[in-house]
Each structure stands twice: as structure tokens, then as C-alpha cells.
Amino acid sequence: MAKRVAVVVSQGQSHHPAKRQLEEEIVASLLGESSVDVTVIPHLYDLKPDGSAILCLQGIAQELIVLSWMFPRATRWILGRYGVLGQEGASLLDQPSDDAEDEEAEIPEPSAELQDALPRVIESIEIPKRKIYCLNLANAKEPSVFVDEIRRIVTEAQVQPLQPIDWLQGKPKPEQVKRMLDPAPGNVEHQGSGNGSVTDPQHDPANVIEETTERRWYPVIDMSRCTNCMECIDFCLFGVYGIDQADTILVEQPDNCRKGCPACSRVCPENAILFPQHKTPAIAGSGDATEAIKIDLSKLFGSPDVDAVEMAVRERDEQLLIAGRETVGDAVGIASRSASHAAGDADDLDRLIDQLDALDL
């Protein structure tokens, strides 16, 4: 029997009607498919660590597709934080357009020597063979784009191809979907710890995880970049970071993080710290190469912008003041970073000049 693929839809934080409609239409279409198990959860980032949604995610062992309103890197490492791991599945939705591809081809990748200079934490983690695909719901407005991509992934995962249903046929009626995403008493079968499923005899049921959530704000570490250098734990004065039994960095007290503060993401030398809800794409997890080169160019030509470490120090001081504590400026937690930063400037410039040479401007 063909494997089934788990599809998890993480709902938007804002309950924006357009967002909710996209989620509903995707789920409605998937209910007619035979090779997927659909689960709807509240916003992934806001979930309680011991809540039923996380337990559900931890119980999924097969190929997993997660749709959320976040960059895939953020989704992947929020899941990773809860031990929901797998090989990284590539989505066509994240591929640049042909035009963009041409432009990106002009930007040289960092040399392998630079990338491999330090071991990454991911190398010490045992990653299961199953794949996890993270799709950003902000990538398209049409539900069919996501449904088609899910079908492609299911085929790629070498499971029984999905039934070729017409996009507009076989969908549950809108009111059925409405009941499914906003389950009222009587429409949901309760299953122990708050899980529900819709009992529509025409279609496979979708699990709807009911969980009350509040908006959270905490750093997420991308372990494929993190080198365990401990700069973040030295810098943060709010007790957010800790180390595990293997002396590996972890976000131990996430809810100690100061709402809106992204300071430590600016001091991490590997850009491994994400704040998925931050307005700046590079901090929210875009992983955009053009963003990186912009930073390098500002170093060469003298940007009026404040240096990243300086900005982080200011942001940390602001939070200390709000918390009724003394400011510390750059006297605490950035010594090693500053030293390497200063020494690194020359290296960065050399690297940038090599990059510009390669561009043959």
C-alpha cells in the first residue's frame, strides 16, 4: 500500500479574511485527495511546547508537508526545536523565477572554504530519512498553486499518485470547510487532548487541532548554520539561551525574550538566529543572498546605517531600560564578537573585492 503524506496547515496569526480563505480552500481541495492526511493547527510559532498540536506533529513519522505564513527556513527550525526533523525537501515554490535566476547567477556563492571553516551543529544531530517540505503561504494567492505543488511532492515521494480530481470538482461546500476550520460543538469529534476531526462522509476527515494560543516572540536557531560559538548566550542578558547536556546552544527560556527585540540575531556571526515575525526578511529567515551582499557593499562604500553590533547594543539597552535595569552598552557580551568583527572587516573587504572582481563590472 502506498505511503500517505502528512500535510499540516499552520493558520495565520491574524485571522485575516484573505489568509483564512486561502487556508480553507487548500484544505477543502485536499480533503478529496486519497494519499494525504490533512491536519490544521494554530500558528506553528505560537504553539505551546506541551500542547496537543506539538504532540501531533511529533507523532508524524512519514513525509511531511507544512504550509505556514513564514519563510521555509523559519518553519523548518521551529519544527526542529521540537524534535520534528527530516531531510530538507525542496519545493518548486521557493525556486527563483527565470529572471531572478539569471540575476542570482551573477552573485558568487561564498567559497567552500569559508562555508566549511567551522562544523555546524546540524552535523551532530541525527536526522531521520523522511523529508519535510516547508511551503510559505505568502508565495502565492491561488490555492491551486499549493495543491499542485503538494501533488508534485507526493509523486516525488514515490507514493501512489493523487487521484486526478478536477480542481473545481469534488470539493466540500464552503460551509463544510468553514465548520472544519472554525469547528462548532457538534461538528467535531473530540479525541482526548483537544484534537478534533471533521466527520464528513463524503471526504477523508481532516484533523483540526484546537489549542488556545497567544502571540509569542522568541529566537529560533537555524542549526544548519549555527557553529555553537556561544556569542548569543554571552550577549543576551535576559536568560533566554542555555546549553543542553551535550553543551550545545539552545533557546531554553523562549518566553523571557523581549517582545520585538531582535538584537541577538545581529550579533550571531553565522546569521543563524531568526525571528520569524520580524519585518526584515533577512531576520525573519529569508536567507536572501542579495541581502548579504548589500551588507557587504555598505562596508565598502561607507553606509550611513548603524553597524549591526552597535544597533544590537542599542536594542539591548532599550530593553534593559524598559525592564527597569541598568544599561550596559558594549561592555558586556560582545568582546569576542567585537574583536573578531574588527579583525574580520579586512577579510570581509578582501572577500567583497573578490566578489566584485568575479562580477566583472
3-state secondary structure the chain: CCCCEEEEEECCCCCCHHHHHHHHHHHHHHCCCCCEEEEEECCHHHCCCCCHHHHHHHCCCCCEEEEECCCHHHHHHHHHHCCCCCEEECCHHHCCCHHHHHHHHCCCCCCHHHHCCCCCHHHHCCCCCCEEEEEEHHHCCCHHHHHHHHHHHHHHCCCCCCCCCCCCCCCCCHHHHHHHHCCCCCCEEEECCCEEEECCCCCCCCEEECCCCCCCCCCEECCCCCCCCCHHHHHCCCCCEEECCCCCEEECCHHHCCCCCCHHHHHCCCCCEECCCCCCHHHHCCCCHHHHHHHHHHHHHCCCCCCHHHHHHHHHHHHHHHCCCCCCCCCCCCHHHHHHHHHHHHHHHHHHHHHHHHHCC
- Determine, following the binding rule CB under 6 A, whether residue 228 of this chain makes contact with ligand SF4: yes
Residue 227 as a binder of ligand SF4 (CB under 6 A): the answer is yes
Q: Kindly tell me which of 159 and 249 has the beta carbon lying closer to ligand SF4.
A: 249
For position 7 contacting ligand SF4 by CB under 6 A, the verdict is: no
Residue 334 lies near ligand SF4 (rule: CB under 6 A): no
- d(CA 202, CA 32) in angstroms, rounded, equals 8
Choice from 198, 221, 274, 282 touching ligand SF4 (CB under 6 A): 221
Please, which of residues 269-288 interact with ligand SF4 by CB under 6 A? 270, 272-273
Looking at the Cβ atoms of 77 and 146, the one nearer to ligand SF4 is 77
Nearer of residues 13 and 319 to ligand SF4, judged by Cβ: 319
Decide if residue 263 touches ligand SF4 (CB under 6 A): yes
Q: Kindly state the number of chain residues that form the binding site for ligand SF4, as judged by CB under 6 A.
A: 26
Binding part of the chain for ligand SF4, among 16-24, 29-37, 206-214, 218-226 by CB under 6 A, reads: 218-226
- Out of 32, 262, 276, 285, point to the residue binding ligand SF4 (CB under 6 A): 262
**Residue from 258, 266, 283, 313 that binds ligand SF4 (CB under 6 A)?**
258
Contact residue for ligand SF4 among 261, 282, 313, 334 (CB under 6 A): 261
Rounded Cα gap, residues 44 and 24, in angstroms: 17
Strand partners, 132: 64, 88
Residue 74 binding ligand SF4, by CB under 6 A: no
Verify binding: residue 67, ligand SF4, rule CB under 6 A.
no
Q: Are 41 and 9 in contact (CB under 8 A)?
A: yes
Cβ closer to ligand SF4: 174 or 344? 344
Binding range to ligand SF4, per CB under 6 A, among 39-47, 78-86, 173-181, 260-268 = 260-268
Report the residue from 26, 226, 274, 313 that binds ligand SF4 according to the rule CB under 6 A.
Answer: 226
Query: Does position 249 bind ligand SF4 by CB under 6 A?
Result: yes
* Residue 311-330 contact track with ligand SF4, rule CB under 6 A, x = bound: -----x--x-----------
**Residue 220 makes contact with ligand SF4 by CB under 6 A:** no
* Residue nearer to ligand SF4 on the CB measure, 96 or 242: 242
Residues that bind ligand SF4 (CB under 6 A): 219, 221, 226-232, 235-236, 238, 240, 249, 257-258, 261-264, 268, 270, 272-273, 316, 319
